[in-house]
């Protein structure tokens, strides 16, 4: 999944359009169309391919948005996020190949029928886990809405569309100020213009929650942008009675918790807001650890006998070769209205930026790396170019969220963070009762793990870890030398815990 190499595979072959067969069109985004594709070599694996015209992005001044989205997606790997699997580009188009979700988006389902509270509770719990994970990775989504929440065939939700996502500001003077996103989901602080942070995502979760329950947003649909801003800033939200069913008080209370006018009082905000969220009566029955690891059975399963997409998308199949492979000419047809303009300096500069920053991405590279040369001595060959420095000083602390096993037994909620797969896995125990200030986190414990390890054992403290850090080259050379001399038993331990190979 995410957190993999931006470089070609070990055979020097970069991922390209010829490695995919087109099946059908399933949607369209802000900057291009989305097709269902099958990998030629991995015949049993289907994906969703986003085709994005370079010229269209240049015309809309969106090149940096696309590059930023591709960069963020490489750092994400979570069961409830629509993960990126491949990325590449050709002369005219950028491609991002994502997890395929055949259950349609949440908007599709809430617009066709009313769902009971247990279904909406399940959806919101999974969405909450995805948002919390994103925030621990250091990103704010800024466009959470039913259209950007996809269901798989089993009924699990997945957060997608990170086009306007960005890093969370860590200093008061660097708060976000741009009005980015969908205006009807803007939090009050966005309209105020004095700056905002990741708490806007919890407000958007609340508006989405409200839509799922009441089938509409809390604002009139015919207001201008200025009128909508005044309505939101007044802070008055109506919770009407629904026809044919009643909404439980705990459900209304949970929605109100997300739609608190003051960001610091919202469910999900900081330590206190998170504790109030997971202990809220509406979510009392939720097994957060099972939700976060996608180990639950969804109460609602999308229909498999009928499509969960608009039928009009199927006309796009006329652009596909009979062999099933995607025609570059067909991909360009998506954007016939945005043909190359004059070769001005800005266009040349942005095309160059795409070539430099929209790098190839292939998550299957780990299947191709042999790793251990000698399984007995556990020695490895020289690391390929895509291996990042082990525990470098500039290592970004981003990780994977797992929920506490039993919140009913303790108020000391904890999170287990795991570094991205592109770096050696580290699990860090975070006590959510300790406020996170600036870039500092309570890195209490550390352990090494494999890609598939999901255990929760811990050893050395973070302070000890800092004393043991080595550069990639030093670590590799020391391990190789230590393994070579291990048979002679010439290993001594330094006072700081580091193992050093010695000679007779």
Find residue 422's DSSP bridge partners.
none
Other CB atoms within a 10 A radius of the CB of residue 262 amount to: 11
Is 137:126 a contact under the CB 8 Å cutoff?
A: no
Question: Which parts of the chain have pLDDT scores under 50?
Answer: 1-2, 4-5, 7-12, 311-339, 341-342, 388-474, 476, 486-504
Quick one: pLDDT at residue 269? 95
Q: At what angle do helices 117-136 and 249-258 cross, to 10 degrees?
A: 30
Upper half-sphere CA count for residue 79 (Cβ side, 13 Å): 15
User: From start to end of 74-132, where are the E strands?
Assistant: 84-89, 93-99
- Structural domains of the chain ordered from first start: 17-101+309-366 (3.30.200.20), 106-292 (1.10.510.10), 370-469 (no CATH)
pLDDT for the residue numbered 363 = 86
Spatial distance between the Cα atoms of 35 and 64, rounded to a whole number of angstroms? 23
Residues 6+ apart with CB under 8 A from 199: 187, 189, 263, 264, 266, 268, 269
pLDDT in tens, 480-494: 555 555 444 443 444
Q: For position 402, what pLDDT does the model report?
A: 41
CB 212 within 8 A of CB 145: no
Count of CA atoms in the C-beta half-sphere (13 A) of 252: 10
- The per-residue pLDDT for 29 is 66
pLDDT attached to residue 385: 57
Tokens of 307: 């499509």
What token pair was written down for 341?
A: 């303009």
Tokens of 185: 């989901």
Burial class of 196 by CB neighbour count within 10 A (0 to 12, 13 to 18, 19+): buried
Nearest 5°: CA angle at 218, between 216 and 222? 80
Query: Which pLDDT value is given to residue 407?
Result: 42
Q: How far is CA 46 from CA 6, 23, 73, 101, 443, in A?
A: 21, 9, 18, 10, 38
Contact 390, 372 (CB under 8 A): no
Q: What angle do CA 389, 393, 395 make, to 5 degrees?
A: 65
The pLDDT assigned to 16 comes to 92
d(CA 295, CA 292): 8
Predicted local confidence at residue 335, as pLDDT: 41
User: How is residue 299 written in tokens?
Assistant: 């109460």
pTM: 0.70
Query: What pLDDT, on the 0 to 100 scale, is given for residue 44?
Result: 81
Who contacts 355 (Cβ-Cβ below 8 Å, separation ≥6)? 89
Q: Tell me: is residue 437 an annotated ligand-binding position.
A: no
Instruction: Output the pLDDT for position 242.
Output: 67
- The confidence score (pLDDT) of residue 466 equals 42
Rounded distance, CA 215 to CA 313, Å? 25
Hey, which residues are catalytic here? 143
């Amino acid at each position: 999944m995410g957190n993999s190499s931006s470089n070609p595979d070990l055979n020097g072959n970069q991922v390209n359009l010829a490695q995919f067969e087109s099946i059908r069109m399933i949607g369209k985004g802000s900057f291009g169309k989305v097709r269902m594709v099958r990998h030629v070599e991995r015949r049993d694996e289907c994906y969703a391919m986003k085709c994005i015209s370079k010229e269209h992005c240049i015309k809309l001044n969106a090149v940096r948005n696309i590059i930023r989205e591709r960069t963020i997606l490489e750092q994400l790997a979570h069961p409830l996020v629509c993960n990126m699997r491949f990325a590449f580009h050709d002369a005219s188009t950028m491609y991002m190949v994502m997890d395929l979700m055949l259950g349609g988006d949440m908007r599709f389902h809430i617009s066709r029928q009313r769902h009971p509270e247990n279904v909406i509770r399940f959806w919101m719990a999974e969405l909450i886990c995805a948002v919390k994970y994103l925030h621990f990775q250091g990103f704010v989504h800024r466009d959470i809405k039913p259209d950007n929440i996809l269901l798989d065939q089993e009924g699990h939700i997945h957060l997608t569309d990170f086009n306007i996502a960005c890093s969370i500001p860590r200093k008061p003077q660097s708060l976000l100020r741009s009005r980015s996103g969908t205006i009807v989901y803007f939090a009050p602080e966005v309209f105020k213009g004095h700056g905002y942070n990741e708490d806007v995502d919890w407000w958007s979760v609340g508006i989405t929650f409200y839509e799922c329950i009441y089938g509409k947003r809390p604002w009139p649909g015919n207001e201008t942008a200025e009128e909508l801003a005044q309505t939101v800033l007044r802070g008055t939200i109506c919770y009407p009675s629904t026809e044919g069913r009643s909404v439980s008080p705990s459900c209304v209370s949970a929605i109100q918790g997300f739609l608190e006018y003051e960001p610091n009082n919202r469910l999900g905000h900081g330590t206190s807001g998170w504790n109030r969220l997971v202990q809220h009566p509406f979510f009392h029955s939720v097994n957060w650890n099972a939700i976060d690891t996608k180990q639950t059975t969804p109460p609602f399963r999308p229909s498999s006998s009928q499509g969960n997409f608009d039928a009009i998308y199927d006309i796009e199949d006329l652009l596909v070769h009979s062999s099933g492979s995607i025609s570059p000419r067909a991909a360009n047809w998506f954007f016939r209205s945005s043909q190359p303009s004059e070769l001005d300096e800005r266009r040349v500069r942005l095309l160059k930026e795409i070539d430099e920053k929209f790098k190839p991405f292939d998550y299957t590279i780990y299947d191709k790396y042999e790793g251990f040369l000698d399984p007995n001595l556990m020695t490895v060959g020289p690391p390929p170019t895509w291996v990042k420095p082990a525990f470098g000083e500039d290592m970004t602390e981003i990780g994977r969220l797992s929920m506490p096993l039993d919140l009913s037994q303790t108020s000391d909620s904890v999170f287990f963070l795991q570094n991205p797969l592109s770096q050696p896995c580290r699990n860090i125990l975070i006590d959510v009762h300790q406020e996170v200030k600036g870039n500092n986190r309570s890195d209490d414990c550390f352990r090494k793990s494999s890609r598939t390890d999901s255990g929760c054992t811990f050893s050395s403290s973070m302070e000890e870890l800092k004393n043991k850090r080595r550069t990639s080259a030093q670590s590799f050379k020391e391990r190789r030398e230590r393994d070579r001399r291990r048979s002679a038993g010439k290993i001594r331990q330094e006072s700081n815990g580091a193992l050093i190979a010695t000679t007779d």
